Chains A and B, each alone.
Chain A
Amino acid sequence: MTPSAPGPALRVDALSFRYPGAGFGVRVESLALAPGEQVLLTGGSGSGKSTILHLIAGLIEPDAGHIFVNSTEINRLRAGARDHFRGRHIGMIFQTFNLLQGFSAVENVLVALMFSDLPRAQHRPRALELLASLGVERANAPIDQLSVGQQQRVAVARAVACSPALVLADEPTASLDPQNAEEAMTVIQQSCRACNAALLCVSHDPSLVSRFERRMTMPQLATTSAAIGGVLSSTSGGGAA
C-alpha cells in the first residue's frame, strides 16, 4: 500500500525490534497512514502497542526495518537530529498526560514550542489561542490546579502545538472517566483534523472503536514475542474490530 502524493504521514516497512536481553519483541511488516488519517490500534496490555509507538517516535531504535515520518526515515537520523525531528513533526499524548509539574498550562505548551521552527514572538499567542480553542479556561493556572479533563486538553494542545504531521496517542483515555474520555477523544480527533495531522491511537478501550473508520488489532498489525519470524498479516481499511 503506497498512497499517492503527498507522501504518507507514516510508513513502516519490515520493522523488527527485540528488547535487549529479553525474549519480548515486535515485528511490523507494513503500516501506512495518509496525511490526516486516523487509525485506532487495539490490543491487550503487554501486547507491544506502546513499543510500536516508541519505535515510530524514535525513542527506541529498531533492529531492522524502516520508519518514514513525513517522508523522512526517522531511524536513519542521528540521535540529535532525530530529537529535533520529533519535536517538529511528531506530537505525543500519554495516558498520564506527562505535563510538567510547577509549570502553568500555557507554559507547558510553550515548552513544546521551544523546539519548533515558529518565531519566538508567536509562541505565546499561538499557545493561548490553542488552549482557548480547546476549552482550557485558566491558561496561567499551575497545571496541578486544573481538573483531569482540563489537564488532558493541555496535553493535547502541547501535542499539536507544532502542527505535527503525526500524533501518537498512547492510551489517552485510560485515566479518564467515560464522560471525560469521550470529550478528550473528541478534542484529540478534532485537533488532529484541524492541523491535518495523522493520528495513530493506541488503546484497549472498546468504546473508542466506533470513533475510528480505520482500526486494527495487534495480532493483525504485528507479531510479537515468540511469534516473531513467522509471516504476519497487516490489515488496513475498516472492519477489523
Chain B
Amino acid sequence: MSMTDLTIVRKSLAAHFVSTLITALSVAIAVALLVVLFSLREHAQNSFKRGTGNMHVLISADASPLTSVLNNVFYANPPQKKLLMSDLDRLGLTPAAAAPGAEPTTRPRDPRLEWAIPVQSGDSFRSFKTMATTADFFAKFQPAEGVPWTLRDGAFFDGTWQAVLGDTVARQTGLKVGDEIYITHGWSNRSHAPVPGDTPATKTDDHDHDHADHNHDHDAPGDGPHIHNDHPIVIVGILEPTGSPHDRAVFIPLEASWIMHADEARAAAEPTPRPAREDNLTPDEKAVNAVYVRCRTNTIIGSFFDEMRRTQGITPALPNNQIVALFQIVGSIDQIILAIGVAVLVSSIVSVMLAVYSSMGQRRRQIAVLRVLGATRGRIVSLVLTESALIATIGALAGSALAIVGMRIASSVLLDRTGIYVDPWIDPLWLLVVGVATVLLGAVAGIVPALSAYRTSVVRSLRPLG
C-alpha cells in the first residue's frame, strides 16, 4: 500500500480521535434532526388524510368546517352542536323506509350519495373517546382510502349494548372480547392510564359521571352513578390498527348512546323517569354530531357541497381541504422548526471548523515537513478541506442512520400518544440532499483552517523546538 492523501487525513483524524468523534457526533445529530424534520413534514399531511379516509363531505352543525373535521374525525374536542335524525331525514341523508317485504337498505334517500353515516362522539371510556355510529361505519367507511376495516378478534357490533375497540384502546387497556365496560358521559379529565396488572374489567371503576365538560344542552347535571349501571356494554370486536385517530376510539351503536343520554335527561327532568328504550325514544333524543358522506362520483361532490352550504344551520366540510388549511395555519411554525434545524446544522459545521482550526496549531510542523517533501500549498489546502469534509461525511452517515432509527421511534410514539400514524419511511432523496449539503458545508468549514495552513511558514515551522 502506498501512501495517499486520504491516509494522511485519516491519520490526522485518528490523532485527534476524541475531538473528531465529538465533532462528527454533533454533525450526526444535526443531520438526523434535519432529515427527520423534513420527512415528518412531508408525511404529516398524508397522515392527516388517514382518518378522513374515503369520506367526501362531512356534514355537521359546527361553527366552522375546520372545527367539524377536528372534532368529528380527530376527536379534538367533544362536538358542541348536534343534528337530530329528523334533520337528516329532511336533508335526504337517511335511508327511505323499506317497502313492505323488501330488504331494508341503508342507502340514503338522496340519490347522489353512495352512503351517509351518522356519528356521535363526546363520551368516553377511561381516556379514550367513544364514537357512536351505525354498522355502515365499518361496512362502507374506510379510515384510509382503499383500506377497509379488519378485525383482530370478534365481530362488528350487531346489537345495541355492544362495543368494538380500536387497536390502541385494546392494547393499552388489555380488554378482550367478552369483557364489559361502562361509558362515561362527557370526556373525563381524570387520567385513566392503564396500570400493568390492572384488571381490565371495569364494572365499578370506570363509572364516573363527570359533567365538567359535557356539552349537550339537553343533559341534566347531578345524576347519580347508578343510571349507567343498567347499561354494561359487551366488547364484541377488536380492530386491527389503521394508523388513524380511530385506533383510539371505542365504537358503540348510536342506539346505545341515545338510550344512555335519554335516561340521564329523563332522570333530571322527571320525578319517576320511564326507562329509555329503542322504541320510546323521542325525536329530540335521537341526536348525532355529524354525518360522514360519500358521493357516488367525484363530480357530484361540488354541487352537493354547495347545496349543503346554502342550507340553514348546516356546516359542510371537505375534510382534505380542511387539512390543507390546517397545514397553512401551522405552516409558519413549521418553517420556524425547519429554520432551527438548519441553524443546528450550521452550528455543528462551525464546530467542525473550530475542531480542524484548533488542530492546525499542532500541525504546522507536519505541514512544513510535507512542503519540504514536495507538497504544494494547494495540496496542503486540499488535505485540510478533505479532512473537514471527511468529518462532515462521517457525521452525515451516522446522522442518516440516526434519522432512520429516530423516525421509527418518533412514528411509534406519535401513533401511541396521538393516534396519528406517521410513515417512518425516509425518502432517500432527503438523505441525499441533507447529506450532500452537509459534506459541502463541511468542506466550506475547512476553508478558514485551510487558509491558515496555506500561509504556514515552512522555514519558521521547521525550527528546532526550544
Contact = CB atoms under 8 A, between A and B. Distances in A.
Nearest to A175: B464
Contact of A80 (B368, B369, B373, B378): B378
Contacts of A92: 372
Interface residues of A, number: 37
A86 interface: yes
A113 B2 contact: yes
Given A94-B462, A113-B3, A114-B3, A83 B369 contact: no
Q: Which of A60, A102, A111, A113 has the most CB of B within 10 A?
A: A111
B8 interface: yes
Contact of A59 (B372, B377, B465): B372
Interface string B342-366: 0000000000000000000000011
A83 B464 contact: no
A87 interface: yes
Nearest to B461: A98
B3 A110 contact: yes
Interface in A78-106: 79-80, 83-84, 86-88, 92, 94-96, 98-103
Nearest to A109: B3
Contacts of B2: 110, 113-114, 120-121, 123-124
Contacts of A101: 15, 366
B257 to A, nearest CB: 76
A88 B376 CA distance: 13
B3 A111 contact: yes
Contacts of A115: 373-375
Contacts of B365: 98
A136 B12 CA distance: 25
B204 interface: no
Given A110-B3, A113-B2, A100 B374 contact: no
A88 B3 contact: no
Contact of A83 (B5, B12, B375): B375
A162 B372 CA distance: 13
Contacts of A60: 459
B374 A87 contact: yes
B371 interface: yes
A80 B377 contact: yes
Q: Which of A99, A102, A123 has the most CB of B within 10 A?
A: A102
Contacts of B4: 114
Contacts of A102: 11-12, 14-15
Contacts, number: 80
Contacts of B268: none
A112 B373 contact: yes
A158 B374 CA distance: 12
B1 interface: yes
B369 A59 contact: no
Interface in A192-235: none
B374 A86 contact: yes
A100 B369 contact: yes
Chain B interface bracket (under 10, 10 to 19, 20 to 34, 35 or more): 20 to 34
A167 B15 CA distance: 30
Contact of B458 (A59, A107, A158): A59
A102 B363 CA distance: 12
A57 interface: yes
Q: Which of A100, A116, A174 has the most CB of B within 10 A?
A: A100
Interface in B1-37: 1-5, 7-8, 11-12, 14-15
A87 B375 contact: yes
A107 B15 CA distance: 15
B376 A79 contact: yes
B85 interface: no
A99 B8 CA distance: 13
A116 B366 CA distance: 18
A142 to B, nearest CB: 11
A18 to B, nearest CB: 14
A76 B372 CA distance: 18
Contacts of A84: 374, 376
B370 interface: yes
A91 B447 CA distance: 31
Contacts of A107: 3, 7, 11
Contacts of A114: 2-5, 373-374
Given A111-B8, A114-B3, A114-B4, A86 B14 contact: no
Contacts of B459: 54, 59-60
A178 B324 CA distance: 86
A130 to B, nearest CB: 14
A90 to B, nearest CB: 9
Contacts of A80: 376-378
Nearest to B15: A102
B465 A96 contact: yes
A67 to B, nearest CB: 16
A83 B15 CA distance: 26
Interface string A162-203: 100000000000110000000000000000000000000000
Nearest to A57: B372
Contacts of B378: 80
B464 A111 contact: no
Nearest to B8: A111
Contacts of A79: 376-377
Nearest to A107: B3
A86 B8 CA distance: 20
B14 to A, nearest CB: 7
Contacts of B368: 98
A66 B372 CA distance: 20
A99 B376 CA distance: 18
Contacts of A100: 366, 369
Given A54-B459, A113-B2, A114-B4, A95 B464 contact: yes
A111 B376 contact: no
Contact of B462 (A86, A98, A111, A158): A98
Q: Which 4 A-B pairs have the closest CB atoms?
A: A87-B374, A115-B374, A110-B3, A123-B2
Given A98-B369, A100-B366, A110-B2, 9 more contacts: A80-B376, A84-B374, A92-B372, A94-B464, A96-B464, A98-B365, A112-B374, A121-B2, A123-B3
16 contacts: A57-B372, A59-B459, A79-B377, A80-B376, A83-B376, A94-B462, A94-B464, A96-B464, A98-B368, A102-B11, A102-B12, A102-B14, A103-B11, A107-B11, A110-B2, A175-B464
Interface of B: 1-5, 7-8, 11-12, 14-15, 365-366, 368-379, 458-459, 462, 464-465
